[in-house]
């Protein structure tokens, strides 16, 4: 138990530290660049915006709230203080909505879409990869290249193809949005059905892309494990092949979990872009509209929330990993 405690406290501390550094990066990176966006906000927002007085008002408000004219380190602490209070400023492009409100409305769409999709895709991919490794001949020759190809279709590409085929040609699903445009979000049956109807394709596209990559990884992991010494030894002790395959899959699964932790950031990035294809009301679409609207406070908030989501997911995966892999326990005991 002592080993676990040490492992967990170290992990949590490490992730806290990472979060702090990510927050600092989120603040400083844009400000260190030659075209400092905060200083140029007024110039940038003046373009393409009609209501110039409103923009001036936003900017003045922003400059005051975030102390733009103060030195950088003071700005940082003002920004941090506001951040801790959940105050991320006011959106430029959707004035006068506060950024935190826009983020809050988008984040759940993204979490509810991506979390189940990545988990389902990961699980199915590993299952198929394991089967491919076990069956090998023939099956392996057809399925592996198919998976390999599928895993190389970018998430947005998969989304576009699914959209064209199932939503436009076959009309099995709506083409865009998170729910029917004539509905107001509530807990009515009509709304929930509409949400599920809009959920199908984005979900499927993320699942399919995830399956491909995971299956390929799992297959080579499982083949590697099938050649391990313990497999040979177990066989010579008369243990049935079925049981040995069970050992192998469990052991091959463990590195796949670490793999998930390491690639979750990339996956989320791809899935966010896929959201855009479906105009899904999540963070991905918010980010796109923020970028097109040159809405700096909103962009900064989007990147921050993505980082936090990815860090949390990573921490979660590592926690689970520590629980199920005895090697972690052993390493901590030493």
**Which residue lies nearer to another protein by CB, 90 or 274?**
274
Whole-number Å distance between alpha carbons of 202 and 211: 14
Shortest Å distance, C-beta 45 to another protein: 14
Among 60, 193, 196, 262, binds another protein (CB under 8 A): 262
Shortest Å distance, C-beta 226 to another protein: 10
Alpha helices, H only, 33-69: 41-46, 52-66
HEC secondary structure over 142-208: HHHHHHHHHHHCCHHHHHHHHHHHHHHHCCCCCCCCCCCCCCCCCCCHHHHHHHHHHHHHHHHHHHH
Nearest to 43 by CA among 287, 286, 288, 296: 296
Question: How many residues form the binding site for another protein (CB under 8 A)?
Answer: 84
Whole-number Å distance between alpha carbons of 60 and 309: 31
Residues 54-73 that bind another protein (CB under 8 A): none
Among 272, 283, 298, 301, binds another protein (CB under 8 A): 272
Residues 189-228 that bind another protein (CB under 8 A): 220, 223-224, 227-228
Shortest Å distance, C-beta 334 to another protein: 9
Among 1, 34, 73, 171, binds another protein (CB under 8 A): 34
**Which residue lies nearer to another protein by CB, 185 or 240?**
240
Do residues 280 and 109 touch, judged by C-beta distance below 8 A? yes
Residues 101-160 that bind another protein (CB under 8 A): 136, 145, 148-149, 151-154, 156-157, 160
Shortest Å distance, C-beta 50 to another protein: 20
Crossing angle for the helix pair 241-277 and 283-292, to the nearest 10 degrees: 30
**Which residue lies nearer to another protein by CB, 152 or 188?**
152
Shortest Å distance, C-beta 189 to another protein: 28
Do residues 249 and 130 touch, judged by C-beta distance below 8 A? yes
Q: How many residues would you count in the chain?
A: 334
**Which residue lies nearer to another protein by CB, 37 or 57?**
37
**Which residue lies nearer to another protein by CB, 82 or 332?**
332
Whole-number Å distance between alpha carbons of 162 and 209: 12
Element (H, E) at 134: helix 99-135
Do residues 120 and 209 touch, judged by C-beta distance below 8 A? no
**Which residue lies nearer to another protein by CB, 9 or 292?**
292
Residues 10-29 that bind another protein (CB under 8 A): 14-15, 18, 21-22, 25-26, 29
Residues 166-185 that bind another protein (CB under 8 A): 168, 175-176
Shortest Å distance, C-beta 128 to another protein: 17
The contacts of residue 195 (CB under 8 Å, 6+ apart) are 178, 179
Shortest Å distance, C-beta 65 to another protein: 20
């Amino acid at each position: 138990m002592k080993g676990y405690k040490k492992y967990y406290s170290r992990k949590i501390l490490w992730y806290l530290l990472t979060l702090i550094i990510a927050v600092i990066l989120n603040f400083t990176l844009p400000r260190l660049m030659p075209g400092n966006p905060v200083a140029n906000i007024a110039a940038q927002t003046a373009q393409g915006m009609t209501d110039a007085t409103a923009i001036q008002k936003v900017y003045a408000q922003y400059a005051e709230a975030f102390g733009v004219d103060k030195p950088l380190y003071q700005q940082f602490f003002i920004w941090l203080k506001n951040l801790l209070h959940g105050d991320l400023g006011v959106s430029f492009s959707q004035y006068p909505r506060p950024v935190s409100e826009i983020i809050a409305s988008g984040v759940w769409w993204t979490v509810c879409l991506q979390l189940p999709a990545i988990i389902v895709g990961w699980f199915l991919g590993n299952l198929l990869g394991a089967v491919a490794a076990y069956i090998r001949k023939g099956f392996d020759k057809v399925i592996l290249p198919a998976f390999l190809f599928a895993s190389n279709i970018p998430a947005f590409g998969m989304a576009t193809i699914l959209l064209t085929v199932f939503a436009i040609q076959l009309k099995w699903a709506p083409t865009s949005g998170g729910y029917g445009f004539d509905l107001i979000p509530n807990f009515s049956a009509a709304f929930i059905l509409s949400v599920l109807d809009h959920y199908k394709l984005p979900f499927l596209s993320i699942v399919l892309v995830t399956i491909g990559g995971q299956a390929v990884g799992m297959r080579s992991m499982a083949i590697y494990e099938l050649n391990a010494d313990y497999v040979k030894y177990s066989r010579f002790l008369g243990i049935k092949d079925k049981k040995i395959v069970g050992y192998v899959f469990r052991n091959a699964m463990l590195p796949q979990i670490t793999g998930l932790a390491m690639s979750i950031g990339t996956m989320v990035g791809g899935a966010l872009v896929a959201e855009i294809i479906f105009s899904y009301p999540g963070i991905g679409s918010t980010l796109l509209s923020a970028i097109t609207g040159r809405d700096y406070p909103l962009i900064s908030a989007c990147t921050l929330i993505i980082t936090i989501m990815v860090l949390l997911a990573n921490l979660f995966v590592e926690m689970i990993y520590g629980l199920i892999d005895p090697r972690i326990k052993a390493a901590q005991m030493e």
